[in-house]
Chain A
Amino acid sequence: EAQVTQNPRYLITVTGKKLTVTCSQNMNHEYMSWYRQDPGLGLRQIYYSMNVEVTDKGDVPEGYKVSRKEKRNFPLILESPSPNQTSLYFCASSRLDRPEFPQHFGDGTRLSIL
């Protein structure tokens, strides 16, 4: 089954404790992206990647890091989380050869930073 898998689905942690949210897709998609969703602000893009070792900032990259060492994986790293990073996070992927192709989303990761 084609899917984007995020882990964990829920995480409560404390300020400053490094965390990683993993994202994996099994569709051989070149393009992967991270979004955060906050009430009243919709979805905002954090980082995206067009292929292995190619990443770029989205609209709200501050406080986040990403890496793309393998095509299927695109982890989101919070080196020193802060309460303003409490949010619902989504990973998405799509083909890049035809950019109008739809994005496939994971089920989300709800992060609470205390």
Chain B
Amino acid sequence: SQQGEEDPQALSIQEGENATMNCSYKTSINNLQWYRQNSGRGLVHLILIRSNEREKHSGRLRVTLDTSKKSSSLLITASRAADTASYFCALLDYAGGTSYGKLTFGQGTILTVHP
């Protein structure tokens, strides 16, 4: 199964700035999901974008998907210190059968927001 590749591996910004994280993948997907992980805790689902969608918003989050480039971006606007966490993209493979319901996670981007 494929794995998303995230970029950058680490990002350090000041409060109030925007944070952009990218995820690239190799084969067709059914959907792409973004998760957040606070240090030492479980992952929390943030937002999902389907393969036929190009952009979605949720509060301060904006996700884009470019299936021709096989890439997605997560934008956090007006960041806060509380946004400090690791962010992961997760891919649901297009094919059914044994790939049904199986998410593959990228290695994550560590975001640090300084007060």
Contacts and interface: CB of A to CB of B under 8 A. Distances in A.
Contacts of A42: 3, 88, 105-108
Interface string B24-46: 00000011010100001111110
Contacts, number: 60
B56 interface: no
B38 to A, nearest CB: 10
Give the dominant DSSP class at B's interface.
strand
A74 interface: no
Contacts of A53: none
Give the dominant DSSP class at A's interface.
strand
A43 B102 CA distance: 12
B103 interface: yes
B6 to A, nearest CB: 9
B54 interface: no
Contacts of A90: 42-43
B43 A105 contact: yes
Interface in B66-115: 88, 90, 92, 98, 100-108
Given A42-B107, A99-B101, A59 B43 contact: no
B45 A43 contact: no
Interface residues of B, number: 27
B1 interface: yes
B113 to A, nearest CB: 22
A34 B48 CA distance: 21
Contacts of A108: 40-42
Contacts of A94: 101
Interface of B: 1, 3, 30-31, 33, 35, 40-45, 48, 50, 88, 90, 92, 98, 100-108
- The 5 closest A-B CB pairs, nearest first, are A102-B45, A105-B42, A42-B107, A43-B105, A105-B43
